[in-house]
Amino acid sequence: MLDLLSHPVTILIIGITIVLVGILVLKLHAFLALILAAITVATMTPRSALETYAQEQLHPAAKKTSDGTVEEVPAKWTEGQAKKFIGSPAPQRVAQGFGETCGKIGILIAMAAIIGKCLLDSGAADRIVRTALRVVGEKRAGLAFMGSGFLLSIPVFFDTVFYLMIPLAKAMRLRTGKNYLLFILAIVAGGAMAHSLVPPTPGPLIVADMLDVSFLDMMIGGIIVGLFASMAGYLFAKWLNRRMEIPLRDAPDASIAELTAQASRSDDELPSFWISVLPILLPVLLIAAATATKTFLDGNQSPPGWLVSLKPTIMTLGDKNMALILAAVIAMLTLIKQRPDRKKLAASVQHALTGGGIIILITSAGGGFGAAIRQSGIAEQIAMLQEGVQPLMILPIAFLITTLIRTAQGSATVAMITAGSVLAPLALQGDLPFHSVYLALAIGCGSKPIAWMADSGFWVICKMSGMTEQEALKTVTPNSIVMGLTGLAATLILATLFPLAG
């Protein structure tokens, strides 16, 4: 009986059960449910599993690079650190995992929150939407809403993006007298996929960290797969829009008046398009420049001297934390220029950090949970998934695990963190026949189905758009399934054609 209780699979099942019961039955905050699950898992983990885990950290590891070569990764711990870890109590091990995760993602999420809030308050987000509508024209307004939702959901949380854009969708419905359902689902199609696939939003950010996927790889892969999935959601929305009519109804919400007032501002009151989009594009450009510089210098025997001398500066500016900090500074300067009241800037930053702090706590708790699961000895059990299974089947398995957790408890971010914790050993062992970014993308796509009453975003869409629950179940729910499955299909195709691993 004791052997059964200390088995890694039993420990894993108990940990996931605590997360689900804590959120669904006890109505605990996700942070508390994850911390409670992490401490339980760490307490149940036998000393033998801790010793095995510590031994793995004492030896250099072999890791496959994107070009198929194998490089040696130095040992992570010394003998003293290993002994200290084995003898440490469960809460201390969870706290260590919590702290390591917070150190990696804390600044990124805080800066992303500031960028998002400043984009909203300065009118920059509104400018991006209006420019998109102007470029594609009124007939393709749905496409503009999808593209704008996708772009804005990279630094801004999905719920906030929907709050911002739904008044614009209502105004467009009043102007055209039709296509309200198309506008609603187009916003969802763009915003929901970026929320689960493109960092620095928390879900893809923490999964990329768990699977040792670089920020840039996750961003590029997330954009490619996300656009395929969003377009499928948009096409499904167009098909459904021809068969259903959603009337424009009052949606009593305190923030509607403020957001409607923002949407009715003249173009002269808004920042320019390029200034508006700069906080979103700048981090991508800086990180890409640093990656390209490092790759070029590492593969060139006689690089140009000027580039060698500039390398420290490029690498500093291209560090993901620095890139997001610079983007946040630009977003704050834009807000000051549009609204030269420093008290309002301070209030916007305070509001952003309050919301961002909660997300940091949740993701860091997920990091502690993930560390406890990995230390329980689950790696060997997860490795058995590959025995007798086609290599690509790992991606549908990851998708299904995430979908089950998402459907059960509602939160896409919690589902991604939990699934990432379970599946991380597959990526970290370096035995996948494809780049681990595809595993991260499969997890992200799996967090889309099935949107229903357990999901807070489902209720935001219902209440803000004026849809009834039945209407949302007939429209938003199947749309989430279509996008998730399309994203999985795109991931499978890319992993087959471009495995990016030897």
What is the average pLDDT score of the chain? 83
> For position 399, what pLDDT does the model report?
94
Enclosing H/E stretch for 377: none
> For position 254, what pLDDT does the model report?
35
Residue 57 scores a pLDDT above 90: no
Q: What pLDDT band is residue 252 in, cutting at 50, 70 and 90?
A: very low
Residue 473 scores a pLDDT above 70: yes
> For position 389, what pLDDT does the model report?
65
* Token pair recorded at residue 329: 């500074």
Alpha-carbon gap, residue 411 to 404, rounded angstroms: 11
Alpha-carbon gap, residue 75 to 86, rounded angstroms: 17
Task: Give yes or no for a cis peptide into 449 (omega within 30° of 0).
Answer: no
Phi, psi of 27, rounded to the nearest 5 degrees: 60, 35
Q: What pLDDT band is residue 232 in, cutting at 50, 70 and 90?
A: very high
Alpha-carbon gap, residue 63 to 106, rounded angstroms: 27
Residue 258 scores a pLDDT above 60: no
Residue 168 scores a pLDDT above 50: yes
Q: What is the largest CA-CA distance in the chain?
A: 72
CA 274 to centroid of chain Cα atoms? 25
Q: Tell me the per-residue pLDDT of 269-321, one tens digit each, with 9 for 90 and over.
A: 789 989 988 988 888 788 888 878 887 887 777 778 788 888 889 999 988 88
* Token pair recorded at residue 64: 């496959």
Q: Tell me the per-residue pLDDT of 125-159, one tens digit each, with 9 for 90 and over.
A: 778 878 888 887 778 888 989 998 898 888 777 87
Residue 104 scores a pLDDT above 90: no
Is this model's pTM higher than 0.75 or not? yes
Question: What integer is the mean pLDDT of 432-448?
Answer: 92
In this structure, what DSSP letter does residue 59 have?
S
Alpha-carbon gap, residue 216 to 324, rounded angstroms: 13
Q: Tell me the per-residue pLDDT of 416-433, one tens digit each, with 9 for 90 and over.
A: 988 888 888 877 776 788
Lowest mean pLDDT among 58-72, 236-250, 485-499: 58-72
* Token pair recorded at residue 208: 């990329």
Q: Tell me the per-residue pLDDT of 317-346, one tens digit each, with 9 for 90 and over.
A: 988 889 889 989 999 999 998 887 778 888
Question: What integer is the mean pLDDT of 205-224?
Answer: 90
Residue-range domain boundaries for the chain: 2-45+89-497
